[in-house]
Copies of this chain bind each other. A is one copy, B any other.
Amino acid sequence: MKQSKILIPTKKEAPSDAEALSHVMMERAGYIYQISSGVWSYLPLAYRVIRKVKGIIREEMEKAGAFQMETPSMLPADLWQQTGRYEAYGDTLFKFKDRNDREYILGPTDEEAMTEILRDSIKSYKKLPLVVYQITDKFRDEPRPRYGILRGKEFSMLDGYSFSADQKGLDEAYDLQAQAYRNIFDRAGLNYKVILADSGTIGGDNSQEFSAPAKVGEDVIVYTDGGYAANIEKATSKFTGVQQTAALAELAKKPTPGAHTVDEACETLGVDQGQMLKSMLFMAKMGEDDYQPVMVLMRGNDEVNETKVTNAIDCEELELASEEDTQKYLGAHPGSLGPVGVGEEVKILADNYVKVLVNMACGANDDGFHYVNANIDRDFRVDEFGDFRNVQEGELAPDGYPIKFTNGIEIGHIFKLGTGYSEKLGAKVLDENGRQVNMIMGCYGIGVTRLLSAVAEQNADENGLVWPDSIAPFDVHVIPVNAKKDDQMAMANDLEGQLTAAGYEVLVDDRKERAGVKFADADLIGIPLRVTIGKKAADGIVEVKIRKTGETIEVKQEELVNTVGILLKQLANPTDKQE
């Protein structure tokens, strides 16, 4: 295809608001156009990449026995009210009404609609298991859209759903999807980790996340060289605490004027952070208008992991208590809280590492004062011990290897959902014994447009994008150095014909621009191989440049197709090259 016919508005300057390399390069290379904050158009080059990703997804989904369908973007609000997610999603949902005042939302994910459809379609276990998926636009009113198409308000998502009458059906579908996801990301040339994850607002017990390590990743991935990987919300480490054995000293209240942080209190009291209790008060939402105050205790140098706390309490939502609430329940400001003298109405959780301490310091629930030598049971109550902290780098993971941290972009997530949605929406089938049972669901998702960002983020360099051939907009970029010269254009057309006949997708830069402009644009656009037709064309010789490595090779015209095949194969399987 001829470049002059395609809308590719390359730019010399980076957009002023761009923080991520993928964003800078996708805008500069003419892939994307922002029409409103977090709302993007995909120009022809980006669309070609998206189509290739969708093609890979379809092949792998079909192999996994999943069938494509499509639900609408506009969904009746009452359907989402039935599952409680209309409330739970809050401001993240886009809401609107039709001319008859009927309320709709724009779907941010699709458990409700899919469950309703299956409920109305399937009545017997004999028709199950079934796995359906779609690749449609989803909508989330992100408070802070950023990084180009990495976090937008409207984005393309693959979402799949499995329905079965028994656990075995779910397990099999989940495993097939997990394998399909690996295949998809492998084929798309993505570097990723499969990590243990928490299920979040979707619900369900068992879930894995696919995360792409990248500097701009908004998640912290915890991993080891032994293969353990989890997100920070879910990660655990081996407990290495040792019971302290000092004699219990006498509880004493000390003035700590102006000390509002753990650091300041430790300094004033001359106490190590490991002996200071960090005491935080949360309000846990247990149901409609039903809040439980919860104090969480941990060592001063540890961080509270709210997901672990939420799961331990089994609450709907966990919020840090307001000053009003700390005054109401503890009579002090947040900087001076502690467990001593706290009444039964406040539930007290303590991290396992607190259990082994003696003679701890802690806030006195009296602004400007701390206790020293506080001890469990003697001076304060703990209702439940558990793992409530974030792991730290260097600790030993469950696999025995030291923990490392990296930033990651969440690109996929698979859940064993269970029966939460089918219960709420009445999606039942008759089982083998003629009894009504809830369908057991799994759900599976990939951020399709986000995947582009992740691949670009991992592969781009200072000159532009670098696409793996499997999802590149074209395989070969043919550049006649001077498109005004008939012999160069004739050779370009000839090579385009040969390469196309061999099954490659070819972009010919037929623009009457200077060579420097063309080369710079080619680097920006990031097609794997560039074929330059220059002075040696007269001798039947062209130059092939590998975008990823910058290497160049001179090739005889008649050997080009063959060379392209070999180079693309090597790029797809870099180890082959070493052998």
Contact = CB atoms under 8 A, between A and B. Distances in A.
A117 interface: yes
B96 A94 contact: yes
A46 B6 CA distance: 32
A72 B154 contact: yes
Main secondary structure of the interface of A (DSSP, over half): mixed
A290 interface: no
B4 A127 contact: yes
A40 B71 CA distance: 7
A315 interface: no
Given A5-B65, A5-B67, A39 B74 contact: yes
A244 to B, nearest CB: 49
A50 interface: yes
Interface string A19-50: 00000000000100101110111111011101
Interface string A126-148: 11001110000101010100000
A404 interface: no
A575 interface: no
A180 interface: no
Contact of A102 (B36, B126, B143): B36
Interface in A499-552: 512
25 contacts: A5-B130, A5-B131, A7-B121, A7-B122, A9-B122, A30-B121, A35-B117, A36-B75, A43-B69, A43-B121, A44-B69, A47-B67, A47-B68, A48-B68, A51-B68, A72-B154, A74-B154, A94-B96, A94-B98, A95-B96, A96-B96, A98-B153, A99-B143, A126-B512, A137-B137
Interface in A195-220: none
A91 interface: yes
A132 to B, nearest CB: 6
Contacts of A305: none
A132 B35 contact: no
Interface in A97-123: 98-99, 102, 104, 106, 113, 116-118, 120-122
A76 interface: yes
A95 B99 CA distance: 10
A548 to B, nearest CB: 26
A70 interface: yes
Most B-side CB within 10 Å, residue of A74, A126, A143: A74
A557 interface: no
Copies in the complex: 2
Contacts of A9: 120-122
A307 to B, nearest CB: 24
Nearest to A33: B117
The 9 nearest A-B residue pairs measured at CB: A9-B121, A96-B96, A44-B67, A41-B71, A42-B70, A36-B76, A91-B99, A72-B154, A39-B72
Contacts of A40: 72
Given A5-B130, A7-B130, 10 more contacts: A5-B67, A35-B71, A35-B113, A35-B117, A39-B74, A43-B117, A72-B137, A73-B73, A74-B94, A98-B141
Given A35-B75, A76-B36, A121-B7, A41 B67 contact: no
A91 to B, nearest CB: 5
Nearest to A112: B35
Contacts of A139: 73-74
